[in-house]
Structure 1
Amino acid sequence: NNQYAMGTSQQRSTSSAEIYERGRAFGIPGEAVDGMDVLAVKAAGETAVAHCRSGNGPYILEIKTYRYRGHSMSDPAKYRTREEVQKIREEKDAIEHVRDLLLTGKHCTEEDLKAIDKDIKAVVNESAEFAKQSPEPALDELWTDIYAQAEA
């Protein structure tokens, strides 16, 4: 849940602030978690996976996050202020939060993080180049790894 459906804030577009609660009508438990907190997401994910793997059925995990840019390339995101976006970046950015945890916990150094960032950029660039050079998949690939059941 990135707080905006296309260009409309969730607060204006839904009667329920907690989307995960919609599962209750179907007997599906769940919870909301701060998606800007990596450790909270990890813990909630472990809870959800344990629930499902123990045979208790589905679990709705609403991860509340925030998108900094518009919904698409053609979305100028005029429905929120620059100040709103900047405030979230400064106060709640997930990557900066983890970075601070790693550095203050002395799990790594600034140089370690720079090396990781360099490695990640190389992987992303190699992957993008591979995708650009690869042929389009065959149309029958559209149905590969689809596990939904059709009704009879």
Structure 2
Amino acid sequence: MAGNTSNKQGSIVTAVNVAQIAGLNTLGVSLARVDYAPYGQNPPHLHPRATEILTVLEGSLYVGFVTSNPGNKLFSKVLNKGDVFVFPQGLIHFQFNIGNNEAIAIAALSSKNPGVITIANAVFGSKQTISDDILAKAFQVDKNIVEHIQC
């Protein structure tokens, strides 16, 4: 059954991990179904405890990940139905539906509890916000822009 993608990102992730199925305990695997609205995205995020392998079931996705410092190299590709892509553990990655139809993917992860850190939420939406001055300097933008993003 398709997930509800009527949100700001235009996607929904339905996770199947040890929190949903206790039988996955000690098996070292979990799954996720990702539904994408037309031009929806699974925004930049990372899994601190798992590598992810993504298979496209329907549609076309532009996907990619960025290597660690100092290289920060983007590896990206357009995937179509049946294509597979791997996102290494701990690296920032994303998926974007480039089509005007819905897309569906299945992700397998190498941990019963992979965790997820959505970059924008962590940086701009932390509870106890990160100082505007710190973020303005880190992103090399005016402090007013940071304040606007945090609203």
Q: Which has the higher helix share?
A: 1
TM-score (norm 1): 0.24
Structure number, greater radius of gyration: 1
TM-score (norm 2): 0.24
Q: Which has the higher strand share?
A: 2
